[in-house]
Amino acid sequence: MVKRKLVFSVAVTLAVALSLELLGDPALSVPYKPPKRPPPGRTSSTTVRTDVQCADQNQAIKEIIPLIPDYLPLPEPGEEQNSKIYSGFNLSEYPILLVYLPKANAQMGELVLRDENNRSVTRTRFSLPNQAGIVSLDLADTNIDPLEPDKPYWWSVSIICDEVNRSENGISARVWFQRITPSATLGQQIFNARPTLLPALYAQGDDNGGFWYDALSSLADLRQLQPNNPTLENQWQELLDSAGLLELTEQPLLDCCQFQQQDTPQP
């Protein structure tokens, strides 16, 4: 897991030095192309945002906000289009989940991951940052098995404000997502691409739509390596805006979080 991060970081560093600094290297557009149909298994009743009770009241955004596309897919014949669906595809066996966390009077957060039958995959705690911002939760750092292809999962994140009265804790919406295999053409393009070109390839995807989690995490890695690079900043704003997340474009990407306690999934 550490090796994967190290290899990717070295590759990104070299690619940034060799490509973004070169004159004439075009800045690729990275708008996200949503799936034609969302992955199966989805929840519309839990998408309402609520303030975290122990959040610092002097900040503008007091909710936990998963960085996920907010879109309305085209309904099937006979369906009503009346609720927002939060969903996305990923390629990785261990996707990286990005989420905005407000500054809060709490020490721990919790990630819950379950399958389509609501069976627990992991319930993992992590230490909270001391400021508001966007954090990355890498499933490769947990003790879970690789996500199975074509199988829906959902995840949510909470801030533990009160160990006893859990109703006081802030919690995000349930976020459904699914790992799928890319087309042969896209797979070859990804294999041959420089790291700086990956976000655009992931965002546009193939006939199934874009691969949100891979686009977002690859671009976030690039931005953390070069936080003052205007090309990457513009791409970040474009990607988030295309997914209805414009309010988060100015939030910092924080160097967080380390998982500290993991529950063993029950059968």
Measured CA to CA, the distance from residue 46 to residue 44 in angstroms comes to 6
The predicted-structure confidence for 83-133, as pLDDT tens digits, reads as follows: 445 568 999 999 999 999 999 999 999 999 999 889 999 999 999 999 999
Measured CA to CA, the distance from residue 35 to residue 193 in angstroms comes to 23
CATH of residue 218: 2.60.40.3780
Q: Is 77 exposed, middle or buried (0-12, 13-18, 19+ CB in 10 A)?
A: exposed
Measured CA to CA, the distance from residue 119 to residue 81 in angstroms comes to 29
Number of domains observed in the structure of the chain: 1
Could you write out the three-class secondary structure of 50-116?
Answer: CECCCECCCCCCCECEECCCEECCCCCCCCCCCCCEEEEEECCCCCEEEEEECCECCCEEEEEEEEC
Q: Worst-scoring range by mean pLDDT, 17-31, 96-110, 140-154, 195-209?
A: 17-31
Q: Worst-scoring range by mean pLDDT, 143-147, 225-229, 258-262?
A: 258-262
Measured CA to CA, the distance from residue 223 to residue 229 in angstroms comes to 7
pLDDT at 18: 40
pLDDT at 27: 56
Domain of residue 67 covers 2-75+82-263
Is the pLDDT assigned to residue 254 strictly greater than 50?
Answer: yes
pLDDT at 52: 87
